[in-house]
């Protein structure tokens, strides 16, 4: 039996996370979850006994900071932890704000004979992405960085000084920096390649901004053998199999009126983002729709 590993990064909305896990509960899946150490209200007892078919693992917790390398560190730890438990046909990285919008039978049927890499990628190097890695950005773990203009301004001033002194962290690296979406579905081969490159990834991307949107894309783009396995490098939704709406938000949080639009997506098997504090009805509608379909299969 070809098994899949689901890797979930969550930091709040435990009811939504519980629904995600229930929808993923299948004998063909193992589920690996990381909970941000900054989340003080998490209780593991809430999740005891919620899976009947999948193995559910909560990996050791790390503190995550917005746009910081800690996001990549957690991705790599999830991949390593899962790979140490066996070889999976696919590894799917999800956030705690995602939902599957297809049944597990539909998902496994889609991947049955695939060996593609499903990574949302913008396959050209642009300066906006390069500067995020080329210069040191040491302020990302400041808790005010995300919303404080003064701290962000200090970061830009420090970047400007580095330009004046010709700092270039990429000077001895013959790679192109490529952007895209953080969330992916990758094969066992590529997962183990990424794990083997952990030291190189940390050396290259630590102290860079939003490296979680650069690492997978850069590593696969600069490896022709794997890049030839990219499923689609022209459309982010088709390429990643994830329906994410960046036109109405950053990204947009789905509402109940989006139900038909979401479940009728032909090119996606996951969707984000959902937030019960914005609209809990859309979460319940999708959960009951997928859960009922799975139960009746």
Q: Domain ranges for the chain, please list them.
A: 4-122+179-296
- At 19-60, the pLDDT tens digits run 999 999 999 999 999 999 999 999 999 999 999 999 999 999
- At 104-138, the pLDDT tens digits run 999 999 999 999 999 999 999 999 999 999 999 99
- At 54-108, the pLDDT tens digits run 999 999 999 999 999 999 999 999 999 999 999 999 999 999 999 999 999 999 9
Q: What is the mean pLDDT of residues 221-239?
A: 95
Smallest Cα–Cα separation from 274: which of 20, 22, 99? 99
Class of the CATH-defined domain 4-122+179-296: alpha beta
Between CA 135 and CA 168 the distance in angstroms is 6
Per-residue pLDDT, 296: 83
Beta bridge partners of residue 272, listed in sequence order:
98
- At 187-204, the pLDDT tens digits run 999 999 999 999 999 999
DSSP string, the chain: ---EEEEEEE-S-HHHHHHHHHHH--TTEEEEEEE-TT-TT--GGGGTT--SSSEEEEPPP----TTSTHHHHHHHHHHHHHHTT---SEEEEEETTEEE-S-HHHHHHHHTT---BEEEEE-S--HHHHHHHHS--TTTTSTTTTT-HHHHHHHHHHHHHHHHTT--TTTT------EEEEEEEEEHHHHHHHHHTHHHHHHHHTT-TTGGGTHHHHHHHT-HHHHTTBS-SS-HHHHHTEE---SSSTTPPP-GGGHHHHHT-SS-SEEE---TTT-HHHHHHHHHHHHHHHHH-
Per-residue pLDDT, 126: 95
């Amino acid at each position: 039996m070809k098994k899949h590993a689901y890797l979930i990064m969550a930091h709040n909305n435990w009811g939504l996370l519980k629904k995600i896990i229930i929808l993923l509960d299948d004998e063909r899946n193992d589920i690996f979850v990381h909970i941000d150490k900054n989340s003080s209200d998490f209780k593991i007892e809430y999740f005891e006994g919620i899976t009947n078919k999948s193995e559910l693992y909560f990996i050791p917790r790390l503190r995550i900071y917005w746009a910081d390398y800690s996001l990549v560190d957690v991705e790599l730890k999830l991949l390593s932890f899962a790979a140490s438990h066996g070889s999976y046909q696919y590894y799917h990285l999800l956030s705690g704000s995602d939902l599957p919008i297809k049944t597990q039978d539909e998902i496994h049927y889609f991947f049955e004979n695939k060996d593609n890499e499903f990574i949302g990628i913008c396959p050209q190097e642009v300066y906006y992405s390069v500067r995020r890695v080329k210069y040191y950005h040491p302020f990302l773990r400041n808790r005010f960085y995300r919303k404080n203009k003064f701290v962000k301004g200090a970061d830009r001033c420090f970047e400007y000084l580095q330009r004046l002194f010709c700092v270039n962290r990429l000077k001895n690296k013959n790679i192109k920096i490529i952007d895209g979406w953080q969330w992916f579905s990758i094969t066992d081969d590529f997962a183990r390649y990424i794990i083997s490159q952990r030291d190189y990834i940390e050396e290259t991307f630590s102290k860079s901004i939003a490296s979680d949107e650069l690492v997978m894309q850069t590593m696969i783009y600069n490896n022709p053998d794997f890049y030839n396995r990219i499923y689609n490098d022209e459309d982010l939704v088709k390429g990643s199999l994830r329906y994410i709406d960046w036109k109405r938000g950053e990204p947009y949080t789905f509402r109940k009126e989006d139900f038909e639009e979401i479940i009728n997506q032909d090119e996606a098997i996951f969707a984000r983002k959902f937030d019960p504090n914005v609209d809990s009805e859309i979460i319940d509608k999708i959960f009951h729709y997928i859960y009922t379909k799975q139960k009746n299969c």
